[in-house]
Structure 1
Amino acid sequence: MKIDEKPKVLQVYALTGLGHLREATSIKNALDEAGIENDTLDILKWARMHSFYTRTAVLPLLAFKWFFEITTRHASTFNSFTLPSFALRAFLNMIRVFEIPLGFALRRYLRHCEYNTLLAVHPWGLGALWSFGLGRKLCQSLINVIPDEIDVGSASFYGIPGGKKGPLHLVNSQRVQMLFETVGVNPDRIRIIGHTLDPYVYKNRKSAYKRIRANLKDRNRPLCLGLYIGGTGTKDEVYRIKKIIHLLADHIKLGHYTIRAIPGPHLEFAQELAEIKSSLKLNNKQFEIFSSSNRDKVIEVGHRWFVEEIDVLFAKTGEIIFYSLATGLPHIHFPPKGANEVEHVKLMQTQNSIFEFDRILDLHSFLSDREYLLELSGNAFETNYKLAGAYEVVEEIKKLYTVTKGSRTKQVKMPSVYTSHKPF
């Protein structure tokens, strides 16, 4: 289908973790490939820079983000702590109320921009606009993208009401679709697209799987272990990554393993790893570390290592699990944090494609069982989980601009939304 005039898309997300940025980046890459003009907006960064009003309005959300990071980063006891469903819904609805002041400013900003399509990859800001009727007179069309597995409490937060004229919800699975219907989203406004995998990884997933399988079968070749830490950088992750290095140090020197560690934007932890590497007298080939305050670069390198380097992944269970499914990487997981990570563990366990790090008694013996690692790899890759979600988002955007009747395709222009404006 050829489109003479392409839409202009603004993708809104919140940098609350690397997962949301990874998802937004994947969609942006797919939009770029399709030649669709697009920009991304981190709602938290925008609020801190836009005006004094928005800097004040965003404070409750920043406080919530800080509280979440503190509890998940430093307290292992929160791993098993879950609120009852009704309490979780009440808490999340309270957070939505706190979005309203920010929503007013965002509404004014969006009404006077040239964008005609909005993508929400995180509910903050845009969720308030539509939930409280503030955004219904905006000229832009809204598409709400939810590419993770979530629970019913999170669905009540991510889901945006509006009946048959409400925002379009693009979800990753039939299970999530049912959750959204349960919390009141109109079934006609839900589409299943799968996960929004980075197009680079998606295109190379079969070659990556072939490489991983060959390396797992070759006992004369060292296994390359990927040690990844999330955007929050929890105490659990830091402790276990250092434990892995110390447990396998002698075997690394003997040539049984190589390490590829991504401490991400956590520069202090990167320095710790560099000191450990130096004390163990390991060279760059044996132990490579990549860290940067540039989160986009962190994601780029991490994805390249998925395709070209890593044979076994050690990480939490954020949306990174979909990259294990895509490439057939045996995934050894750290304790999950938050509802989506718990649901991701359940998803992987049903496919027998993941193993819990804390259940391993002898790490070297576990990694020496290549047959079991091959089993995890095959189970992950052969799930056939839908992973072309980034391309599906592109197709849904194209549908907004075309109406097909018989064999004829008519171009439908969206209303112009650009006027001069002043800051809120």
Structure 2
Amino acid sequence: MAPNPTLMQAVEHLGYRVTVGDVATQAGLNVNMAQAGLLALASDARGHLQVAETGEIVYLFPKNFRTVLRNKFLRLRLKEWWEKIWKVLFYLIRISFGIILIASIVLIFVAIAVILIAVNSSRDSDDSGGGHSHGGGGMVFMPHFWFGPDIWWFFYPDYSDRYQQRRVSSPEGKRQMNFLEAVFSFLFGDGNPNADLEERRWQEIATVIRNNQGAVTAEQIAPYLDDIGEGWGKEYEDYMLSVLTRFNGQPEVSPDGEIVYHFPELQTTAQERNSQPVGAYLRERPWRFSQADSGQIMLSAGLGAVNIIGALVLNSLLRGEIGIQLAQSGGLIAFVQSIYWILLSYGIAFLSIPLIRYFWIQWRNQRVEARNQQRQERAILLNQANSALHKKIAYAQQFAAKTVIGREDLAYTTETELIEQEIEQADKIDAEWQRRLNN
């Protein structure tokens, strides 16, 4: 079975030397899952186990462990190849909606132009046959269609140079979308902004526990949970069960009957680390209609409207005598007539989908804001803790501890042979035996 990608990323981020608690905190993984994953990864990636005298285990991995795994697992190689292929395919899917819209508009207005030219030619023939003359040499009427803003700016020869000048970084550090990407964003948005919510939730909870050296109260964890219940369920802190299960926690009861929580697995680390910054509460990100800029959104909506208006004008011309004749004679006009309802439906859907999505986002953001407000209120209560809560937190700190396992604390490691380790630690072993004899 291929290793857990989240676990591998955590190992890399932590410097390739980790404990179960380090990985569980970094990735927000279940402690048992992290332990099983590290054992499997160490076995598959030629990692090493370092055992401290206290019995704690540190996992050491080579920096090229991904290469080792890639050579070992065909499934992992195929997955990496597929991810690269899917990026290209998904990009083509994204830009296809803009390409289809432009193609639809071009097809509609080319058909309109062909029909109008045929109508004008027919009128000129009738005028010439009737012997009528007009001053000015008989101008042929050519319709002029105004598309509003210059919608073809991205087809200009110098578009690439101008695009590079307009390209700026967004607040999130991402490049600005091109027009075809913006069309997809206008239609379908840019994905769920809280797709990683559960991962962030458990990472932040584990970080709070680690920052408090493995001992916390329920009030310190509540700002990161959603539904903490009402009545007896809230009073008895049932919502902490999922946290205890995930991180192998142990409840402890104070002399006053208050419950605090102790997490031994998160008190051990492979290297000294300062307290990590963490938000006062878990904040869900609001849904955005689109990450495209306002100009791209207006242009996309405008093109959708142009598609619908053009389709309606085309329908009127196709019902005329010349339009019927051209359609019956085959060619472009016959083709456009055969897909007319597809062109019109695409234009209607192009504007309807974003409109429906806009109202859906408003409803969704109201619920997001309500949950954020609930968690924020719990954080405020924690910051304004009364004497009873302060006493409870102080009792929890009696169980606080932090164990950093350095190389000097190791009793055994799989990096070298056991005999070599005994030779290297001969002085240490002699000193330990001498201490025991003296006792």
TM superposition score category, shorter chain reference: under 0.3
Normalising by structure 2, we get a TM-score of: 0.19
Q: Which has the larger radius of gyration?
A: 2
Q: Which has the higher strand share?
A: 1
Q: Which has the higher helix share?
A: 2
* Highest RCO, 1 vs 2 (Cα 8 Å, sep ≥ 6): 2
Normalising by structure 1, we get a TM-score of: 0.19
